[in-house]
Amino acid sequence: MIIPAFDFIDGEVVRLYQGNYSNKKKYDIHLRSCLEEYQLKGVKNIHLVDLDGAKNSCNRQLEFFKKILSCTTIPIQIGGGIRTEEDISKLLNLGIEKVVIGSSVIKNKNEVKKWFEIYGADKIVLALDVYIDSNNNKEVYIHGWKKKSKITLEEIIEYFSPNGLKHVLCTDISKDGTLLGPNIKLYKELSNSFKNIKFQASGGVGKLEDIISLKKTGVDSVIIGRSLLEKKIRIEEALQCWQNE
C-alpha cells in the first residue's frame, strides 16, 4: 500500500529535515483538494503527523484534524506526541483509524501494553525510528531523534508481540527527507525476521524504482512524504507501480 504523508505545524503542511524544527519547509497545498484527488485515484490510507502535539501535547491540533476528517473517507492514521490513554481516545473518537505511538513505546512500555488490551492491535502502530550502527544494531531513538534509547528495534517488537502487535512504522533516521533512496537491506531483514508484522517503510523514497525495491522486501506499505509534496513522484504513478510489482 502507498501511504501519502503530511506533517503539520499550526495547520500548515511542512517538512522537517532530519527531524529538526529549525530546518523546516512550508508547502502551499490545498489539503481538501489534495485528499479529494487522492480518494479518486484510489489511495487507501493517509499518514498525518501533528508536530505541534509532538512538541507540546497541550498544543494538539484536534480541531484542525476534525476538519480534515470531515472532508475525506480515506482511513487516516495520526502520530505526534501521543502519550496518554486520553490522547488516544480523543483521536479515535474523532474518527481516526489508527494512532501512531512513538516515544511512549520506550518510556512507558507497560502503559502501551495496556493500550493494546483496551483498543486492540489493529488501532495501534508502533513508530520506531532507528539509527543503524556499524555492527548493524538497530538502535531506537526518541524525542524527535534527539535521544538514543539503548534499546533495539528487535527488542521492542519481541516485547510487544505477545500483545498481538501487527503494525510497525520503521524509519531509518539517516534516510528521512533526503530523497536518496530507502534502506532496502533493513526492510528485507525485518520482513524475513517478523513475518506476522505489517511493516510500514518510511524514509528516503525519491523515485519510482525505490517503490519497486521496497515492494520486493515484503513490507506491507510505503509512506511517502516529500517526493509527493514536491512532485518528484505523482500519486497515480506510485499506486500503479505498487500494484504492478
Q: Grid coordinates 488490551 are at which residue?
A: 117
Name which of 13-27, 55-69, 227-241 the model is least confident about: 13-27
Whether 133 sits among the annotated catalytic residues: the reply is no
Task: Please pick, among 129, 172, 176, 210, the residue that the annotation labels catalytic.
Answer: 129
pLDDT of residue 192: 96
User: Mean pLDDT for the chain?
Assistant: 91
Query: What's the pLDDT band for 211 if we cut at 50, 70, 90?
Result: very high
Residue 172 appears among annotated catalytic residues = no
- Residue range 189-209: mean pLDDT, rounded: 95
Give the strand pairing for 98-101 and 76-79.
parallel
Check pLDDT > 80 for residue 143.
no
Look at 84 and 150; give whichever has higher pLDDT: 84
Q: Cell for 99?
A: 494512532
Set 7, 52, 172, 176: catalytic member: 7
Long-range contacts of 111-117, Cβ-Cβ distance < 8 Å, separation of 24 or more: 111/85, 112/160, 113/160, 113/163, 114/85, 115/85, 115/88, 116/160, 116/163, 116/164, 116/165, 117/163
Domains of the chain: 2-244 (3.20.20.70)
Which is more confident, 124 or 143?
Answer: 124
Decide if 202 contacts 171 (C-beta within 8 A).
yes
How far is residue 62 CA from its own chain's centroid?
A: 18
Q: Using 50, 70 and 90 to split pLDDT, how confident is the model at 244?
A: confident
The per-residue pLDDT for range 39-57, each reduced to its tens digit, is 999 999 999 999 998 888 7
Q: DSSP string of 27-49?
A: E---HHHHHHHHHHHT---EEEE
Strands 46-50 and 2-9: parallel
Give the whole-angstrom CA distance, residue 178 versus residue 77: 23
- Its sign, for the CA torsion 22, 87, 140, 14, is negative
Q: Is pLDDT above 90 for 15? A: no
Give the pLDDT confidence score for residue 94 in this predicted structure: 92
Look at residue 144 and tell me whether its pLDDT is greater than 70.
no
User: Collapsing DSSP states into helix, strand and coil, what is residue 53?
Assistant: helix
Confidence class of residue 225 from pLDDT cuts 50, 70 and 90?
very high
Contact between 102 and 142 (Cβ < 8 Å): yes
